[in-house]
Structures are given as structure tokens and as C-alpha cells.
A = this chain, B = another copy of it.
Amino acid sequence: MVGGFKLTKWLKESGPESDIVISSRIRIARNLSGFPFPHMLKEDNGKDIANRVYNAVIEGNESLGKDFKLVEMHSIDKVDRLNYVEKHIISPALAKNTATGSLLINQDESIAILINEEDHIRIQCLLPGFQLDNSWNLADKIDDLVEEKVKYSFHEELGYLTSCPTNLGTGIRASLMMHLPALNMTGYINSILQASSQIGIAVRGIYGEGTEFLGNIFQVSNQVTLGITEEEIIKNLKNVGIQIIQKERYIRESLLKDKKVELEDKAYRSYGILKNARKITSTEAMKLISHVKLGVVLGLIKDSSLEKLNQLMEMIQVGFLQKYYKSQLSEYDRDVKRAEIIRMNI
């Protein structure tokens, strides 16, 4: 709780390898047999699907029923929807579907079931740190529970059918959110981008296209879903993840050896600005928080913590600010309030 306001709960915990891996995510795309894909779906059908999934999860299973709540897009306002987008729980596309879009979400927000997004159902598990297996096991279990109650659209040869052909087959997208300041700072990230794409793994900067490497945060995910088992997808991504972790750590160590004062200086100056600024854009804040994070994980700076900084990265987003201050804020006011919230929480 931050001033009575709810952040993504798992941000308070730190998982394995959390000095580099922020979170591990599994997303499973499924569609119901006998219904058109969402882009062709009439509103009635959409509501029907939402009810079936709701019944499968909430009514059909006692423990899930207690843990999950239903959030219909039309029942929450724009600010709340934006806040879910910024927490990476829903996509901007689902936020826009106020006609039939819904979300089933558990209490700690680690599991979300998106209804009538690009596919009828997307099951998503998001855990802190490097724990792809746990995330996969959770998602797989939910998938089985839902499949007991509804009939998925499945083809003997193609596997699970999905709205977009890139998801065909397993319908699985596994991804790691990684903080890679050393790789980015030294330019090595580019060779990783190239090498990864050759083995069917995509590495992308997050938070917007124009500012790809903002905050030194990268999403690493599988590109292939067809002709490969779920276990192979997870295993491949895990291996790439381990290699990136090793490389990032290696470069951090050599920077620490050759450029210790410079790293310390960068981390502390960034901390000093964040602790004192009266006005700050989210782009600048992301950049500075990333410098401080690197300082914290390298043991150069003791004045903050990884948990605080991960939380801050969420708190500086527009949707969070609007929700926290309970008002629509102008860009100017957001920059002022963002600086305020950073000063209080760093």
C-alpha cells in the first residue's frame, strides 16, 4: 500500500535473480469452439463467452472462486484501465473493448484471465524474478481448470487455433522482463538482439516504440509457438535467459573493476536528482531509476532498495498518478506530482 493505494502486489517481493530479472510471464491464448474470433464477434456472443469463462473460473472451482474477482472494462473508468495497462496486466486493446472486454484477476495479481482481447481467452501468469517454470505451472493449471468447463477451438495438426497465426499451436508466449543496464551501456545488447532473433527469441525495449531502450528494461520472449512443445518453449527461453544473465553479470563485474567511481557517481547523482527534483518527466525518471538500480545491485549505493525502485517504476506512470491523486492531471501537474511521489518513496 502506498498512501492507501494498491501497487502490483508481487512488486514487494523479489524473486530469484531479481538483480537482473524483474518478472517471468507466461501467456496462453485460447479460443472457444463454436464462436467467431473476437474481431468478428457480435456483442451478444462476447457477453456469452465472458459468462462461460466467468462460470468456469468463479463458479466452477471453489478455491479459484474465492481468490478471483471479475473486472468488466465498462465498469471501471479510463484511469483504472490505464493503471492495469501500466501494470502489464491488460493490453491497451482490452482496455478499449468496453463492450465485452473483461478481466478475471486473483488477489495478488499474479494471475489474470483476459476475456475478449485478441483471443477469447488469454491466461497470464506474472511472477517476480526468474521463475518461468513456476509461472508456466500456474498458467497450465488454470488452463486445465478452464478446459474442464468449456470447449477450446483445437485442430489436430495446427494445435490450438488463435486469432493471429503467430500464436497458433501451443498458443504460448513466455517472456522475461530484464534490467540490462550494463549490456545496454556498453552496446553489447545489439549483438544479443541479433543472436536471439536467429534462434526464435525476440529481445525488445519496453514502454513505447520511440524510446525503445528506456530504463534499460528489455522483454525477452519466444517467437515460435508452432511445431514445438510447451516444455521446449520454456526450456529455450530459460537457456537464453541464463546466458543473458551471465553476460550482464560479467559486464557489471568488469565495469565495477574498471569504472567503479564512474558507476558510483552516476548512481548517486541519479539518486540525488530523484530525491530532490520538483518536476520530472517519466522518461527522465525511468532513466535515473535504472542508474540507481544498477548502483543498488552492485552494492555501490545503500540509500534505496530494489523493491522500492521497482515499485517506483510503476508509480511514475501516468495512470498510477491520476489514480493516486484522484484527478485528471495536466502534463505539467503530472511532472510535479511525479517528482513528489518519487521524493516520498525512493
Contact = CB atoms under 8 A, between A and B. Distances in A.
A277 B268 contact: yes
A297 B255 CA distance: 41
A264 interface: yes
A5 to B, nearest CB: 24
Contacts of A271: 272, 276
A336 B336 CA distance: 32
A12 interface: no
A17 interface: no
Contacts of A273: 269, 272-273
Nearest to A260: B278
A242 B273 CA distance: 36
Contacts of A269: 272-273, 276-278
A336 to B, nearest CB: 6
Nearest to A343: B268
A210 to B, nearest CB: 25
Contacts of A274: 272
A322 to B, nearest CB: 19
A249 interface: no
Nearest to A275: B272
A279 interface: yes
Nearest to A339: B265
Interface string A136-176: 00000000000000000000000000000000000000000
A273 B272 CA distance: 5
A133 B15 CA distance: 70
A261 interface: yes
B276 A261 contact: no
A13 interface: no
Contact of A261 (B261, B262, B268, B278): B278
Contacts of A336: 261
A273 B279 CA distance: 15
A272 B265 contact: no
A106 to B, nearest CB: 40
Given A261-B336, A265-B339, A336-B261, A272 B277 contact: yes
Contacts of A275: 272, 276
A289 to B, nearest CB: 14
A260 to B, nearest CB: 9
Give the most central of A272, A274, A336, A339: most B CB within 10 Å: A272
Give the most central of A277, A278, A279, A339: most B CB within 10 Å: A278
B264 A268 contact: no
Given A269-B276, A271-B272, A273-B273, 13 more contacts: A261-B279, A264-B278, A265-B277, A265-B339, A268-B278, A269-B272, A269-B273, A269-B278, A271-B276, A272-B273, A272-B274, A272-B275, A275-B276
17 contacts: A261-B279, A261-B336, A265-B277, A265-B279, A265-B339, A268-B277, A269-B272, A269-B273, A269-B277, A269-B278, A271-B272, A271-B276, A272-B272, A272-B273, A272-B274, A272-B276, A273-B273
